[in-house]
Protein backbone atom coordinates (compact mmCIF):
# COMPACT_ATOMS: atom_id res chain seq x y z
CA UNK A 1 0.00 0.00 0.00
CA UNK A 2 2.83 2.38 0.89
CA UNK A 3 4.48 1.64 -2.45
CA UNK A 4 1.21 2.48 -4.26
CA UNK A 5 0.84 5.83 -2.40
CA UNK A 6 4.49 6.69 -3.07
CA UNK A 7 4.10 5.91 -6.81
CA UNK A 8 0.93 8.00 -6.99
CA UNK A 9 2.63 10.94 -5.22
CA UNK A 10 5.60 10.80 -7.61
CA UNK A 11 3.35 10.67 -10.66
CA UNK A 12 1.32 13.65 -9.39
CA UNK A 13 4.51 15.64 -8.78
CA UNK A 14 5.70 14.97 -12.34
CA UNK A 15 2.37 16.03 -13.84
CA UNK A 16 2.34 19.27 -11.82
CA UNK A 17 5.96 20.07 -12.70
CA UNK A 18 5.41 19.54 -16.42
CA UNK A 19 2.23 21.65 -16.36
CA UNK A 20 4.08 24.52 -14.67
CA UNK A 21 6.94 24.30 -17.18
CA UNK A 22 4.49 24.35 -20.10
CA UNK A 23 2.67 27.40 -18.71
CA UNK A 24 5.95 29.30 -18.49
CA UNK A 25 6.73 28.55 -22.14
CA UNK A 26 3.38 29.77 -23.52
CA UNK A 27 3.59 32.69 -25.96
CA UNK A 28 2.24 35.94 -24.47
CA UNK A 29 0.49 36.96 -27.73
CA UNK A 30 -1.61 33.90 -28.38
CA UNK A 31 -4.68 34.26 -30.63
CA UNK A 32 -7.80 34.99 -28.64
CA UNK A 33 -5.86 36.66 -25.82
CA UNK A 34 -6.45 40.23 -27.04
CA UNK A 35 -6.84 42.80 -24.30
CA UNK A 36 -4.51 41.04 -21.88
CA UNK A 37 -1.77 43.62 -22.27
CA UNK A 38 0.98 43.97 -19.73
CA UNK A 39 1.94 47.46 -20.91
CA UNK A 40 -0.12 50.59 -20.48
CA UNK A 41 -1.06 52.70 -23.51
CA UNK A 42 0.94 55.87 -24.17
CA UNK A 43 -2.29 57.87 -24.55
CA UNK A 44 -5.74 57.67 -23.04
CA UNK A 45 -8.96 59.59 -23.59
CA UNK A 46 -11.25 60.89 -20.89
CA UNK A 47 -14.31 63.02 -20.21
CA UNK A 48 -14.60 65.38 -17.30
CA UNK A 49 -15.54 68.76 -15.87
CA UNK A 50 -13.05 71.60 -15.49
CA UNK A 51 -12.74 72.42 -11.78
CA UNK A 52 -9.81 74.85 -11.89
CA UNK A 53 -7.38 76.41 -14.37
CA UNK A 54 -3.99 77.85 -13.40
CA UNK A 55 -2.49 79.46 -16.50
CA UNK A 56 0.57 80.66 -14.54
CA UNK A 57 1.48 77.05 -13.65
CA UNK A 58 0.07 75.55 -16.86
CA UNK A 59 -2.23 73.19 -14.95
CA UNK A 60 -5.86 72.16 -15.10
CA UNK A 61 -7.90 70.35 -12.45
CA UNK A 62 -10.42 67.90 -13.90
CA UNK A 63 -13.15 65.88 -12.24
CA UNK A 64 -13.03 63.02 -14.72
CA UNK A 65 -15.01 59.86 -15.28
CA UNK A 66 -13.32 56.48 -15.03
CA UNK A 67 -10.62 55.93 -17.67
CA UNK A 68 -10.73 52.18 -18.22
CA UNK A 69 -7.85 52.10 -20.75
CA UNK A 70 -5.42 52.82 -17.89
CA UNK A 71 -7.44 51.41 -15.00
CA UNK A 72 -8.25 54.74 -13.33
CA UNK A 73 -11.48 55.21 -11.38
CA UNK A 74 -13.42 58.47 -11.54
CA UNK A 75 -11.60 61.15 -9.53
CA UNK A 76 -10.57 64.78 -9.38
CA UNK A 77 -6.97 65.38 -10.37
CA UNK A 78 -4.66 68.23 -11.41
CA UNK A 79 -2.72 67.78 -14.65
CA UNK A 80 0.02 69.71 -16.43
CA UNK A 81 -1.09 70.90 -19.87
CA UNK A 82 1.34 70.40 -22.75
CA UNK A 83 1.31 72.86 -24.38
CA UNK A 84 -0.03 75.30 -21.75
CA UNK A 85 -1.87 77.17 -24.54
CA UNK A 86 -4.48 74.38 -24.39
CA UNK A 87 -5.94 76.14 -21.34
CA UNK A 88 -6.65 79.50 -22.98
CA UNK A 89 -10.16 78.80 -24.31
CA UNK A 90 -11.48 76.69 -21.43
CA UNK A 91 -13.80 77.74 -18.60
CA UNK A 92 -14.31 76.37 -15.10
CA UNK A 93 -17.47 74.26 -15.02
CA UNK A 94 -17.19 73.28 -18.69
CA UNK A 95 -17.50 69.61 -19.67
CA UNK A 96 -14.52 68.51 -21.77
CA UNK A 97 -13.02 65.60 -23.67
CA UNK A 98 -9.28 65.22 -23.24
CA UNK A 99 -6.30 63.11 -24.19
CA UNK A 100 -3.55 62.49 -21.70
CA UNK A 101 -0.16 60.87 -21.50
CA UNK A 102 -0.58 58.62 -18.44
CA UNK A 103 2.28 58.74 -15.95
CA UNK A 104 0.57 58.49 -12.56
CA UNK A 105 0.64 61.78 -10.68
CA UNK A 106 2.83 63.26 -13.45
CA UNK A 107 0.26 62.60 -16.20
CA UNK A 108 -0.01 65.34 -18.84
CA UNK A 109 -3.04 66.56 -20.79
CA UNK A 110 -1.96 66.77 -24.45
CA UNK A 111 -5.30 67.70 -26.05
CA UNK A 112 -8.57 69.07 -24.67
CA UNK A 113 -11.79 70.47 -26.10
CA UNK A 114 -15.35 71.24 -24.99
CA UNK A 115 -17.49 68.08 -25.00
CA UNK A 116 -20.62 69.83 -26.27
| Sequence ranges of the domains in the chain | 44-114
Q: Are 90 and 60 in contact (CB under 8 A)?
A: yes
CA distance linking residue 97 with residue 81, whole number of Å: 14
Residue 18 has pLDDT above 90, yes or no: no
Residue 36 has pLDDT above 90, yes or no: no
pLDDT grade for 40, boundaries at 50, 70 and 90 = confident
pLDDT tens digit sequence for 53-97: 999 999 999 999 999 999 999 999 999 999 999 999 999 999 999
Q: Look up the pTM and report it.
A: 0.66
pLDDT at 38: 60
Give the whole-number percent of the chain exceeding pLDDT 90: 62
pLDDT at 41: 87
pLDDT at 55: 95
Phi, psi angles (nearest 5°) of residue 58: 70, 35
CA distance linking residue 17 with residue 78, whole number of Å: 49
pLDDT at 116: 78
pLDDT at 35: 53
Does domain 44-114 fall under CATH 2.40.50.320? My reply is yes
Amino acid sequence: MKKYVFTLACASALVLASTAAFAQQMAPNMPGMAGMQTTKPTQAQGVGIVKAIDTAKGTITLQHQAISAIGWPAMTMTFKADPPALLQKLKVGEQVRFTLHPAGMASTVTAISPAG
